Copies of this chain bind each other. A is one copy, B any other.
Amino acid sequence: MKLQQLRCIHEVVKNGFSISKAAEALHTSQPGVSKQIQLLEEEVGLHIFIRHGKRLVGLSEPGQHVYQRINEVIREIKSIKQVSEEFSQSSLGVLTIATTHTQARYKLPSVVQAFMSKYPDVKLNIHQGNPTQVTDQVVKGEADIGIATESISHNDKLFCLPCYTWNRCLVMPAKHPLAKEKTVTLAKLATYPIITYDYAFTGSTIVSKVFHDAGLTPNIVLTAIDADVIKTYVNLGLGIGLIAQMAYDSKRDQGLVSIDVSHLFPTSTTYLGIRRDVFLRGFMYDFIEMFIPEYPKQVVKKLMLEQENI
The CA of A233 and the CA of B11, in the complex, are separated in Å by 62
Residues of B contacting A308 in the complex (Cβ-Cβ under 8 angstroms): 156
The CA of A166 and the CA of B87, in the complex, are separated in Å by 50
- Is A167 close to B, CB under 8 A? no
- Is A276 close to B, CB under 8 A? yes
Question: Count the A residues whose beta carbon is within 8 Å of the partner chain — how many?
Answer: 36
* B46, B61, B69, B76: the one within 8 Å of A69 (CB): B76
Tallying the copies of this chain within the complex gives: 2
A62 touches B76 (CB 8 A): no
- Is A25 close to B, CB under 8 A? no
> How distant is A40 from chain B, measured CB to nearest CB, in Å?
9
Encoded as 1 (CB less than 8 Å from any B CB) or 0, chain A from 32 to 66 comes to: 00000000000111100000000000000110011
B309 touches A156 (CB 8 A): yes
The CA of A61 and the CA of B80, in the complex, are separated in Å by 13
Residues of B contacting A66 in the complex (Cβ-Cβ under 8 angstroms): 80, 83-84
Residues of B contacting A83 in the complex (Cβ-Cβ under 8 angstroms): 44, 62, 65-66, 69
- Is A279 close to B, CB under 8 A? yes
A residues apposed to B, CB below 8 Å:
1-3, 43-46, 61-62, 65-66, 68-70, 72-73, 76-77, 79-81, 83-84, 86-88, 154-156, 276-277, 279, 307-310
